[in-house]
Amino acid sequence: MLNSVNRYEDMLKNHTCCFFDVCEFEDIIDYYLDSENFTKAATAADYASRIYPRASSIQLRMAEILIDRSQPVKALNLLNRLGQLDSDEYGVYLLRGAALNMMGKPREAQRQFEKAISMADENRTEVLYNIGMSFERINQHKVALKYFMKVRAMEPENYYVFYDLAYCYERLDELDQSIACYRKYLDEDPFSEHVWYNLGIVYNKKDDSGKALEAYDFAIAINQSYSSAHFNKANTLSLLERYREAIDTYFEFLEIEPDNAAAYCYIGECYERLEESDLARIHYLKSLSLDDRFADAWFGLGMVKSQAGNYEEAVTDILRALALDKDNTEYLFSLASTYANMQHYEKAVALFKKLVQLITGDIYMWDCFAQIYAKQDAFVEAQRIIIEALHFNPDAALLHYRLAAYFLLNNEQLQGLIVLEEILKTNPEESDCFFDVFEAGDMEHEVMALMNKYRK
């Protein structure tokens, strides 16, 4: 095969003519397909089809390339013409099914697949595998799984299919099954860095960060230049709040991909969490020097400035982030909070009204919204917001304590004490949050009597 490929590439380079038979062209095209170099595969297939226009094997490969390049209509037209030349070729029906699948016609595709299976005989497992891949390509993972299981049953010694089974189980959120399949693959090939990497991703989804880190470390041990494994390991360390280790690992990633804006941004975020604002700002700016449209870096820069009390500059940077990602609720929330800190309450309220429609389950957001009114002694409005929040989050103790406080602050003493006692009965351990917004004053005796009654 390589001899044919080398002769073919020399021919193109030197603009000469060489003879290749059909089998040699098949080898050349397959070499490029196996290397996922679809552009070169297409060039070779086009050249071969001009020389051998009636060679069904070349036309089949051309159709496969068109499908891989997401051109199913062109592939189907070619296959329909090819079917008239060689209607006994199961590959025609297999690729027709794949094209129809991509066109959103699964029933028609299924009929083509059934024909391919009935004609395949000795190559039936290969056909079943390719049908599974066709369904996987259109995110029909449950159907794909069925075909991969058939391949596994017919070829129990074929451990490669465990990779596809694991991937389908992951996409179906059957994470334990996915891990089991990746582990079975690794029993046969323990030096597959890609499988270790994928295993790390699944462990992350299971919130098992320790095993995720172990899997990424295996991937890196096998291939020190595996940049994605370094990057994911750093992200996992950051989620575990092991920020120093995360920073070191991001820098290991940057040795492989030195101009990655995301890595510099996440380093900045780690420094921000460590309250090292100057280093955070430096790395956010480095990220933006590489990609001035990286929204998270603008947002991070804005947050550093906000924490330093530079609210005007912070607003400018957060607005830049929102211009790039206008529906990002984290950005909107931070902008609303910054406006509240600036006492630009109308702007803050407008943003919070939008936010609580988008994410009704965030009790902290509802609480911040209500506090804007409480700071202005508009306790009735604060009550209204908390009551609306409780409609969506009836078991949130924080909201019940806030409601009790706002009743009492508005001199609705009886209602306030009733709400306070009810929540103390069921959730006394969170009662400290009551005093975040309430100073006892004249009600100190009644409030403390209830607190002492229910708190241990």
Per residue of the chain (456 residues), give pLDDT as tens: 678 888 888 888 887 888 888 888 888 888 888 887 888 888 888 888 888 887 878 888 888 888 888 888 988 888 887 765 555 678 888 888 888 988 988 888 888 888 888 887 778 898 899 999 999 988 999 999 999 999 999 998 889 999 999 999 999 999 999 999 999 999 999 999 999 999 999 999 999 999 999 999 999 999 999 999 999 999 999 999 999 999 999 999 999 999 999 999 999 999 999 999 999 999 999 999 999 999 999 999 999 999 999 999 999 999 999 999 998 999 999 999 999 999 999 999 999 999 999 999 999 999 999 999 999 999 999 999 999 999 999 999 999 999 999 999 999 999 999 999 999 999 999 988 998 988 777 677 888 888 888 876
- Exposure of 230 in the CB half-sphere (CA atoms within 13 A): 20
Residue 413: closest CA among 377, 382, 444, 452: 444
What's the CA gap between 401 and 455, in Å, rounded? 14
Token pair for 235: 């992200």
Domain extents in the chain? 378-456
**Residue type for position 36:** E
What's the CA gap between 396 and 390, in Å, rounded? 7
199: enclosing H helix or E strand: helix 193-205
CA distances 14 to 7, 25, 399, Å, are 10, 18, 77
DSSP 38-83: HHHHHHHHHHHHHH-TT-HHHHHHHHHHHHHTT-HHHHHHHHHHHH
Residue 300: closest CA among 259, 347, 334, 257: 334
**Residue type for position 191:** F
For residue 17, give the 3-state DSSP assignment.
coil
- Check: CB of residue 172 under 8 Å from CB of residue 146: no
Task: Look up the pTM and report it.
Answer: 0.83
